[in-house]
Amino acid sequence: MTNKSLLLVIDDEPIVHHTLDALLDESQFELLPAMNGEDGLELAEQQLPDIILLDVMMPGMDGYQVCRSLRRHSRLADVPIIMLTALDDRDSRLAGLGAGADDFLTKPFDGLEMQIRLRTLALLNRFGRLAAERARFSWIVEQAEDGYLLLDVDGNIQFANTQAQNLLHLSGTYQGIDFVSWVEKFYIPQPTEKWDFWLAAPAPLYFVHPESPHSRPFWLLVEALDAPGSAESGRVVHLRDVTEKMSVYHDTRKFHTAVTHKLRTPIALIYGAMSLLEAKFDQIPPDEVKPMVLTAWQGSQRLVDTVRDVLTYLDAPLTLKIGPLANLAEFAALVDKTAGMYGLENVKLSLPMELQQATVVLTSFSLELILEELLENSQKFHPHHAPRIEIDIERVDKDQIRFRFKDDGLTLTAEQLSWVWLPYFQGEKYFSGEAPGMGLGFPTVATLVWQAGGQIRLANVPSGPGILVELTVPLLATQEEK
């Protein structure tokens, strides 16, 4: 790329071309000669000059005709035109202005005046083009779904399109903000070794907003391009939301890991027992056949439970659309039914009288599924599989109630508490696949509560072993409240 201005000189006198070549600074201007109007128009269309110096009196097409042709051309209409004329009269200048000329020089021209006028027009033309390009750039990036920023050489934000402002939480007075320090308020740049030297050597990386109890991780792919030219040109930064792609990638990997571990054990049990029976059926004493069949049956049951857990998690959102909304008058019977399903003998329910006719924004089917998942988890992870469970229900305000499920089972670590909402996550120190289930109980409950507009919280019981699960669920407004 060159910083020279391309000057097209259309004049039938060779002496004019030689004079200009001697007068003008080669570092500022590159001369393009044309000896007549026809050649000048052809060169102008091919080369798109920054300025055109045009003689009025030429054989064939005169300067006025050339000027009018240039002004009719879509790509050349805005190019500055200086007309050279030996006619120093008012009518000639009026004719030139009518044809579209921007300025005039009278032959013989003064060399210093010529240089000043050309430099001034070159600067104005360059500024005009930059402004037009900036306007086009701004319009394009405002329509884009991705974020775009312009940084100066010191890394300060000079421009951010609307999407970039949203992604980086920028206000209307963002100009001059230090990009690096601002990003670190909201995101964790990864990998850090690239980010540490990013201002000096920009490289593609990610901005990551960690997962919270109410939102999944948010990922931005960050790419930068240093504008060609001088060091003052600055940098263009491109922000692209790749959360969905990364989420699918991580969920797929977690699913593959979990399924690999969970399927291997039951399939090995089934295959080992049945292959032994098939190979040596006639040689195995009858009293040894039953244990082998029982082993294969246990493996089959584990395989069925694994597949059922996955299907239950995938189909959970559908339960929010199946059947009527749940009335709490039915909740006590539902607790008794679920406790009996898992052989739980110590489940205590506290339901205030004034809430017994309340209706929650969960279907009976989805509330039953939530109850099954929570009670099954309490039994599964209790040291003796016989937890003491307390279920309390209270009104939060006129629009919400809160379910509290408290057991006396395990105490979870900080890591387990922070990752428990992730599907296929299990709280084993070393993942072996031996713990029952697929790690989908809490994610299933969270999916149902969040999609119903509620909130969920998990914590250790402060006074002893066990966990506390709180579900805040919207109530269906009564006619009186409406």
Please tell me the distance from the alpha carbon of residue 148 to that of residue 146, in angstroms, as a whole number. 7
* Sequence spans of domains, the chain: 5-139, 145-241, 251-314, 316-474
**The predicted structure's pLDDT at residue 114:** 78
Q: Which amino acid is at 331?
A: F
The CA-CA-CA angle for residues 5, 10, 12, to 5°, reads 145
Using CA atoms, how far residue 98 sits from 8, 27, 70, 92, in Å, is 21, 33, 13, 10
Chain center to CA of 454: 25
**The predicted structure's pLDDT at residue 129:** 67
DSSP secondary structure code for residue 230 in this structure:
S
**The predicted structure's pLDDT at residue 467:** 92
- Residue 105, beta-bridge partner list: 84
Please tell me the distance from the alpha carbon of residue 415 to that of residue 399, in angstroms, as a whole number. 33
**The predicted structure's pLDDT at residue 250:** 62
**The predicted structure's pLDDT at residue 482:** 44
Please tell me the distance from the alpha carbon of residue 32 to that of residue 29, in angstroms, as a whole number. 10
Q: Parallel, antiparallel, or unpaired: how do β-strands 51-55 and 5-10 relate?
A: parallel
**The predicted structure's pLDDT at residue 431:** 38
Residues ≥6 apart with Cβ < 8 Å to 31: 7, 9, 17, 20, 21, 24
DSSP secondary structure code for residue 430 in this structure:
S
Q: Scanning the structure block, which residue is given the tokens 């069925």? A: 304
Nearest to 187 by CA among 205, 209, 206, 167: 209
**The predicted structure's pLDDT at residue 96:** 79
Superfamily, domain 5-139: Response regulator (3.40.50.2300)
Please tell me the distance from the alpha carbon of residue 360 to that of residue 371, in angstroms, as a whole number. 14
Q: Which amino acid is at 439?
A: G
Q: Is 444 in contact with 373 (CB distance < 8 Å)? A: yes
* Strands of the sheet with 147-151, listed across from one edge: 157-160, 147-151, 235-241, 218-226, 205-209, 188-190
Quick: pLDDT tens for 425-434: 555 443 344 4
Nearest to 103 by CA among 79, 130, 73, 132: 79
Structure tokens at 79: 């190019």
Structure tokens at 88: 């120093």
Q: Mean pLDDT, 10 residues at a time, over the chain (482 residues)?
A: 77 86 78 91 90 87 90 85 75 80 79 78 71 67 82 90 90 89 92 88 87 71 74 78 72 61 75 82 81 84 73 68 86 94 93 91 88 90 92 93 94 76 56 52 84 88 90 76 46
- What is the model's pTM? 0.43
Using CA atoms in the order 82, 122, 112, 38, what is the torsion angle rounded to 10 degrees?
Answer: -30
- CATH number for the domain whose boundaries are 316-474: 3.30.565.10
Nearest to 403 by CA among 415, 423, 416, 389: 389
Quick one: 199 exposed, middle or buried, by C-beta within 10 A (0-12, 13-18, 19+)? middle
Q: Which CATH number fits domain 145-241: 3.30.450.20, 3.40.50.300, 2.30.30.60, 3.90.550.10?
A: 3.30.450.20
Structure tokens at 456: 């969920």
Structure tokens at 480: 């009186």
Q: Which residues of 231-258 are buried (b: 16+ CB within 10 A; e: fewer)?
A: eeebbbbbbbbebeebeeeeeeeeeeeb
Quick: pLDDT tens for 132-153: 666 776 676 677 788 898 898 8
**The predicted structure's pLDDT at residue 396:** 92
Structure tokens at 145: 């779904």
**The predicted structure's pLDDT at residue 450:** 87
- Residue 5, beta-bridge partner list: 29
Nearest to 444 by CA among 331, 317, 323, 326: 317
Please tell me the distance from the alpha carbon of residue 425 to that of residue 376, in angstroms, as a whole number. 16
